[in-house]
Amino acid sequence: MIIRKSLAVAALACAALLSACATGPAPKSYAALRAENPRSVMVVPALNSTVNVDAADYFVSTISRPVAERGYYVFPAHMVKGVLEDEGLSDAGLVHQADAARFGPLFGCDAVLFVEIQKWESQYILISTSTNVAFEYTLKSCRSGQVLWSDHQEMTYSPQASNSGNPLADLLAQAIVSALEKAKPNYMPLTQQANLTATHALGQGLPAGPYLPAQHRQDHKSFPDE
Amino acid sequence: MMAAVTALTGLAACAPATRFEWGAYEPALYAYAQNPENREAYRTALERAIEAGRKRDAVAPGLLAELGYLHLQAGETAQALTLFREERARFPESAVFMDRVIVGLGGQAAVAGGEAQ
């Protein structure tokens, strides 16, 4: 738990410095992913394990872009959701339980990305609000159903009022900023940040796909086999 | 922490340029998912992103199909078919899915390997 928290703090520090960052020092094996060499990724509707009913709708709008920018063809996420519903798969739980190999004949995808939303909350404690998200990413082969890549991201955001030098005014300003965040939590930037980090971090994210021809199958050093 | 910083250094080099044109796709889809009344704004966002993408051969994956799907839901089958065919032509990875949808609409699937535009 302490490790997880310190990682989240490190991630936030990185996020503040640049618009993208990396977490998780444990090296990953890219052998299975490289052997499969997927050209396309189909993102199925996220599995929402939180009590916030809007989380999945929010999430779908932020996942295609970062995956595609790594050089992969990404299927139209909103259309895929509609087609799955027409096939009787409107429940994300059912979709996530299905063998990924089942999607191959239907969509012609090389890989399916399953995302579980594990945390999506805004907590107000005293005069401070913290907005938290956590996502689990699992990429599976549409041919064999085996896991090709996985990742976990947790992000926290706490707005801070600027310091004026007057303690009472600062306290009031902080209370207002926190109340605003509580009323309308800023999930979009956090979610975009988490998805960008998950897909783009060197040695942790996705190796370059075929739509980045200069790097495709040339980034073995950054994404080793073991 | 060191690992994160090291990874960041490498990341910074490839961060600024985008491979594809996305325009306002993300906020517009979000607004549409939240409220169907934002359909027109989502359609406009898709059209603009696609137009910008055509200019530098950087149409983002899926956007043509998403726009086609909007037309399909509005009963505009002809426009939908045109867009599904362009998605298929630009992205061969979409062929199985697009052909299935096109045939389902009574259209002619493109000959394998042929140009659908």
The CATH number linked to A149 is: 3.40.50.10610
Q: What burial class does residue A205 get, using C-beta atoms within 10 Å of its C-beta: 0-12 exposed, 13-18 middle, 19+ buried? A: buried
Domain count, chain A: 1
CB-nearest partner of B4 from A22, A39, A188:
A22
Is A206 inside a domain boundary? no
The 10s digit of each residue's pLDDT in A186-205 is 788 899 999 999 999 999 99
Residues of B in contact with A106 (CB under 8 A): 96-97, 100
Provide the 10 A C-beta neighbour count for residue A6: 11
Residue B117: what pLDDT?
Answer: 37
Q: Any chain A CB within 8 A of the CB of B61?
A: yes
Q: Which of B8, B34, B57 to mutate to test the interface with A (most CBs of A within 10 A)?
A: B8
**Contact state of A75 with B96 under an 8 Å Cβ cutoff:** no
**Mean per-residue pLDDT of chain A:** 86
pTM for this one? 0.83
Task: List the one residue out of A198, A203, A149, A54 whose CA is nearest residue B10.
Answer: A203
- Contact list in A for residue B45 (CB cut-off 8 A) is none
Give the sign of the dihedral formed by CA A76, CA A56, CA A63, CA A152. negative
CA distance A73 to chain B (A): 6
Residue A122 is assigned to a structural domain of this protein: yes
Q: Does A142 have pLDDT greater than 90?
A: yes
Q: What angle do the packed helices A187-200 and A55-68 form, to 10 degrees?
A: 40
Residue A97 has pLDDT above 90, yes or no: yes
- Contact assignment for B66 to A106 by CB distance below 8 Å: no
Question: B6 to each of A14, A18, A74, A202, A203, how far by Cα in Å?
Answer: 11, 13, 29, 9, 10
Residue A178 located in a structural domain: no
Q: Is B20 on the interface with A (CB under 8 A)?
A: yes
Q: Identify the closest residue of chain A to B8 by CA–CA distance.
A: A21
pLDDT of residue A111: 98
| Shortest Cα–Cα distance, A29 to chain B (Å) | 16
Spatial distance between the Cα atoms of B57 and A89, rounded to a whole number of angstroms: 35
Q: Residue B88's closest CA among B48, B115, B66?
A: B115
Measure the CA angle with vertex A118, ends A18 and A135; round to 5°. 35
* Residue in B11, B34, B95 nearest the CB of A57: B34
**What ipTM, to 2 d.p.?**
0.82
Write the burial class of residue A93 (CB in 10 Å: 0-12 exposed, 13-18 middle, 19+ buried). exposed
- Any CB–CB contact under 8 A between A143 and chain B? no
| Smallest Cα distance from A186 to chain B, Å | 13
- Between strands A128-141 and A147-157, the pairing is antiparallel
Asked if A64 and B62 come within 8 Å (Cβ–Cβ), the reply is yes
3-state class (DSSP) for residue A146: coil
Q: What integer pLDDT is reported at residue A1 of this predicted model? A: 40
Say if residues A101 and A143 touch (Cβ distance below 8 Å).
yes
Q: Which amino acid is at A3?
A: I
Q: Is residue A34 part of a domain?
A: yes
Q: Which two tokens stand for residue A31?
A: 């052998």
- Asked if residue A118 is part of any domain, the answer here is yes
**Got the DSSP string for B43-84?**
HHHHHHHHHHHHHTT-BPTTHHHHHHHHHHHTT-HHHHHHHH
Residue A60 lies in a domain: yes
Alpha-carbon distance B36 to A126, whole Å? 37
pLDDT digits (tens, 9 = 90+) for B5-18: 444 444 444 444 79
Task: Report yes or no on A139 lying in a domain.
Answer: yes
Residues of B in contact with A184 (CB under 8 A): none
Q: Which residues of B touch A216 (CB under 8 A)?
A: none
How far is B16 from A77, CA to CA, in rounded Å?
24
Q: Do A14 and B94 touch (CB under 8 A)?
A: no
Are A20 and B8 within 8 A, CB to CB?
yes
Question: What are A109-135's pLDDT values in tens digits?
Answer: 999 999 999 999 888 777 778 889 999
Domain of residue A126 covers 2-156+188-200
